[in-house]
Structure formats: C-alpha cells, structure tokens
C-alpha cells in the first residue's frame, strides 16, 4: 500500500504530468492512466489490510507507523489534482498582503498578486466561501508562504496530512474494541493521502475537529465539545448536521452545557470575524448556496439526469431523499444514538456537488463509530466510487 502511494507521488514529477495543476487547473487532453492504476492498486491493498486486521491482535503502534508513512508519503509530490490550496493562499493574501476583505473583494481585483495565476480559474472572480475561522488561519499562512506558490502548497499539504493523522488517532480513541482497525480505516486510506497530503484540502481540518468534538463529548466535556463544534462550523457548514444529531441524542439535562459551549465559542468567533472582516463574512453563505446548486458529474442528481430525468426532478428527488434520511436519523438520535457517520453518507449521496475530498470528514466518522457497520460499508463504497474523480482518464 505504501509502495503504491509513494509511486503515485513519484510519477507526479514527470514533465507536464496531468495530475499536477498549472495555470488555474489541470492540463486538458492528457490522461493519467498510470497514476490511476497505482491508486487503484493502493486502494485494493487498503481493503486487504482492513480485512486482515479484523479481529487480529496487531499492535497499535505498528498500525500507527504504517498510517504515518502512508499519509506523509504524498508530501514528497507536487500539489496534486486540485488548485484549492493555492485558492486558500490567494484569499489569505487578499487580507494579509493586499489589506482588503476576501468576503468583499475578488482576487481578480489584484492582477499583480503572484497567487492569482496559480489559484483555480473558476474562483478568481468570486469572493471567499470559507468560514471566518479558516480565513483568519489563512492570513498567517499567506504571510509565511510569501510569494512562493510551492511554499504555500507545502504548508497546506502538511497541515492537511497532520489533520488526517489526528483524525485517525481520535478514531482509535473513540473505538472501544477494534482500535487498530479504526486507526487503519483512516490512516491507511490512500485516497485521503493523495487528496490531503497531496492536495492540501481543508476538509481534513473539518474531519479532525469533528472527531475532537466527539471525543470531548464522549469524555463528558460538553462545553469544550460545543466550542470545538463551533470552530469546525466556522470552517465549513456541514458540521451543523452532526451537532444537531448529537444534541438530540444527548440527555436533555446535559444538552444545555453542549449548547452553551457552542454559543460561547461561536459568539467569540463572530466577534473576531466582524472586527477583521466587518459584516461581509456573513455573506459567505450566498456564494456557498449558489455553489451548492452546481453539479459534479459524480453526483446523484447528475446521474439521474443521465437516465433522462429533468434537472428539476433529479434535484427535487435528491432533496427529498436528503430530508427523509435526516428525519430518519433524527428519530434515531432522539432514541439515544447519533449516527453521524451515516448522516455524512446521506449528505454525500444526495449532494448535487460531490467531491472526493469530502471523504476527509466521512471516513473518520465511519471509523470512529465501530457499531455502525452499514456506515462503514457505504463509506468504503463511496471511496471506491469517487476514486477516479479529478484524475484525467
């Protein structure tokens, strides 16, 4: 598994490799069959490894050593399969270097900025869609990277790789019986390695924070858990679903502490964000809502349209399935069981905009809930289904 992941990193150094973004996107008209085959082989080895770990007495330290090696191997590659890390860099520079507001000023307004040519071409005319906590964190990163695209990519790649390893450790902590299997479920996953240590996506931050909140909740530290939920939500919106289910599943008399921690931390983040960005950061929801209605070819609504359904019917069906799924999960939460892993799967299965790096919060949740076997199976199915996405083939 490690050899195949390392080989993926190595082939990315070939001249004009199609998996390395340039000029705001990937190269058109070139295929990356070797990279894809190596990643498929790594995923097969990953599944075999999980199978061999079932019920085995393998030492946790050995599993952790393999996880560290797999997740850090793509740090030796250039930025892979996405320009998102450079997009984060540009938004950070808008605030830290250009002394403007990333929620009010588009990156294209600064044509001389060295990050503009590297960031995703589709985002140059758009204000930031990320939460204020992530924007605040992006400013010191932009200063540290300076004018170097390579430094910016390496910083975001490293932070994402460390977040995946933190999520793997937290999954093992939350698992009560098969800790080695939970650790490997996250730490040995080659898709996470390629798209986080390779691509630097901030969804790894979300995954680590969501599991940190779950661990605090399991340790009866509800106020701290609520604060971490708020921090995760201030990066991307999706943790609100997991917080809602956790609140429903908690005992009524203890919900107040969780809610209090969330509100206190959320208020603090809001104050700092308003001081730094004015009220403009609240407008991040508008472009985010528009992006939610965009489609990727792997999303369920797009697949339904391929079967002949009109777009409105396909999207309506997906929304109906999402609502029905969340209502079903809410009822189970009221009975005392918050199935956040299955909720994450439902969100991905019904989202019009489905991206492989969303696995950064789905896989850790599935690993941590060792009693939800169906969620783990669905998660592995999503990994297999999304494996070719973004790879030119």
For the stretch 54-106, pLDDT in tens is 876 778 899 999 999 999 999 999 999 999 999 999 999 999 999 999 999 99
Backbone angles phi, psi at 22, to 5 degrees: -145, 145
> Is residue 261 within 8 Å of residue 223, measured between CB atoms?
yes
User: Does residue 287 have a pLDDT over 60?
Assistant: no
What pLDDT, on a 0 to 100 scale, did the predictor assign at position 27?
Answer: 64
* Percentage of the chain lying above the pLDDT 90 cut: 65
The structural domains of the chain, with segments of one domain joined by +, span 2-386
What percent of the chain is modeled with pLDDT above 70?
Answer: 95
Q: What is the pLDDT of residue 377?
A: 95
Instruction: Quickly state the pLDDT bin for 17 (edges 50, 70, 90).
Output: confident
- Give 368 or 370, the one with higher predicted confidence: 368
- Does the pLDDT value for residue 52 go beyond 80? yes
Check residue 256 and give its pLDDT.
82
Which of the residue ranges 41-45, 158-162, 243-247 would you say has the lowest mean pLDDT? 243-247
For 163-209, what is each residue's pLDDT tens digit? 999 999 999 999 888 899 999 999 999 999 999 999 999 999 999 99
Report whether 277 contacts 244 (CB < 8 A).
Answer: no
- Residue 81: the pLDDT is 92
DSSP states of 210-250: HHHHHHHHHTT-HHHHHHHHHHHHTT-STHHHHHHHHHHHS
Per-residue pLDDT, 23: 80
Residues whose CB falls within 8 Å of the CB of residue 211, separated by 6 or more in sequence, listed in order = 166, 167, 170, 171, 174, 364, 365, 368
Confidence tier at 156 by pLDDT (50, 70, 90): very high
Question: Which stretch, 38-42, 115-119, 247-251, has highest mean pLDDT?
Answer: 38-42
Predicted local distance difference test score (pLDDT) of residue 220: 80
Exposed/middle/buried for residue 266 (C-beta within 10 Å: 0-12, 13-18, 19+): middle
What is the mean predicted confidence (pLDDT) over 50-54? 89
Place of tokens 């009221």: 334
Give SS3 for 198: coil
Average pLDDT value for the chain: 90
pLDDT average, residue stretch 239-255: 83
């Amino acid at each position: 598994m490690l050899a195949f992941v390392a080989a993926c990193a190595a082939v990315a150094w070939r001249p004009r490799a199609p998996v390395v973004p340039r000029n705001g996107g990937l190269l058109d008209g070139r295929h990356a069959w070797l990279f894809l085959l190596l990643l498929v082989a790594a995923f097969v080895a990953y599944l075999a490894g999980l199978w061999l770990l079932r019920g085995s007495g393998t030492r946790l330290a050995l599993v952790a050593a393999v996880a560290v090696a797999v997740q850090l191997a793509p740090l030796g590659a250039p930025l892979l399969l996405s320009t998102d890390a450079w997009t984060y860099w540009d938004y950070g520079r808008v605030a830290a270097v250009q002394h403007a507001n990333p929620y009010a000023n588009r990156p294209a307004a600064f044509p001389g900025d060295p990050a503009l040519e590297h960031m995703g071409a589709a985002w140059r005319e758009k204000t930031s869609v990320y939460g204020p906590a992530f924007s605040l964190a992006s400013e010191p990163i932009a200063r540290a990277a300076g004018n170097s695209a390579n430094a910016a990519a390496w910083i975001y790649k490293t932070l994402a790789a460390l977040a995946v390893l933190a999520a793997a450790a937290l999954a093992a902590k939350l698992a009560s019986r098969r800790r080695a299997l939970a650790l490997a479920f996250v730490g040995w996953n080659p898709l996470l390695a390629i798209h986080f240590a390779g691509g630097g996506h901030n969804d790894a931050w979300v995954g680590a924070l969501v599991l940190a909140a779950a661990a605090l909740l399991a340790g009866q530290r509800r106020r701290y858990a609520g604060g971490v939920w708020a921090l995760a939500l201030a990066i991307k919106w999706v943790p609100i679903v997991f917080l809602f289910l956790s609140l429903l599943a908690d005992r009524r008399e203890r919900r107040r502490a969780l809610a209090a921690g969330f509100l206190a931390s959320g208020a603090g983040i809001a104050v700092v964000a308003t001081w730094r960005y004015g009220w403009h950061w609240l407008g991040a929801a508008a472009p985010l809502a528009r992006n939610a209605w965009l489609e990727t070819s792997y999303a369920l609504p797009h697949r339904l349209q391929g079967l002949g359904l009109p777009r409105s019917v396909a999207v309506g069906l997906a929304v109906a399935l999402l609502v029905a799924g969340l209502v079903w999960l809410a009822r189970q939460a009221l009975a005392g069981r918050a199935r956040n892993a299955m909720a994450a799967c439902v969100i991905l299965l019904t989202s019009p905009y489905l991206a492989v790096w969303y696995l950064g919060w789905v896989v850790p949740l599935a690993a941590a809930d060792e009693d939800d076997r169906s969620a783990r199976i669905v998660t592995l199915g999503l990994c297999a289904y999304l494996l070719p996405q973004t790879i030119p083939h």
